[in-house]
Structure 1
Amino acid sequence: MSLTEGFTVTHRRYVPHSHAHYGGDLVDGAYGLGLFGDVATELLIRTDGDEGLFAAYSAVEFLAPLRAGDVVEATATLVRVGTRSREIDFEARVVCRRAPDRGPSAADVLDPPLLVTRARGTVVAPPRP
Structure 2
Amino acid sequence: MTKAEVGLTVTHRRYVPYSHAHYAGHLVDGAYVLGLFGDVATEVCIQADGDEGLFASYSDVQFLQPLRAGDVVEVTATITRVGNRSREIEFAAAVVCRGRPDVSESAAEVVDPPLPITRATGTVVVPVR
TM (norm. structure 1) is 0.97
Q: 1:20: which partner in 2? A: 21
Runs of 4 or more off by more than 2 Å in structure 1?
Answer: none
* Counterpart residue number, 1:37: 38
Q: Identify the residue that residue 64 of structure 1 maps to in structure 2.
A: 65
Which residue does the alignment assign to 2:128? Answer: 127
Structure 1: 5+ residue runs without aligned partners?
none
Unaligned runs of 5+ in 2: none
Deviation (angstroms), 1:4: 1.2
Alpha-carbon distance in 2 for matches of 1:101, 1:52: 42
The structural deviation recorded for 1:2 is 3.1
In structure 2, the residue matched to 1:84 is 85
Find the counterpart in structure 2 of residue 105 from structure 1.
106
- RMSD (CA atoms): 0.8
What is the total number of aligned residue pairs between the two structures? 128
Q: TM-score normalized by structure 2?
A: 0.97
3-state SS in 1 of match to 2:66: coil
**1:101, CA displacement in angstroms?**
1.9
Which letter does structure 2 place at the counterpart of 1:77?
A: T
Q: In the TM superposition, what is the alpha-carbon distance from 1:102 to its structure 2 partner?
A: 1.5
Which amino acid in structure 2 is aligned with residue 76 of structure 1?
A
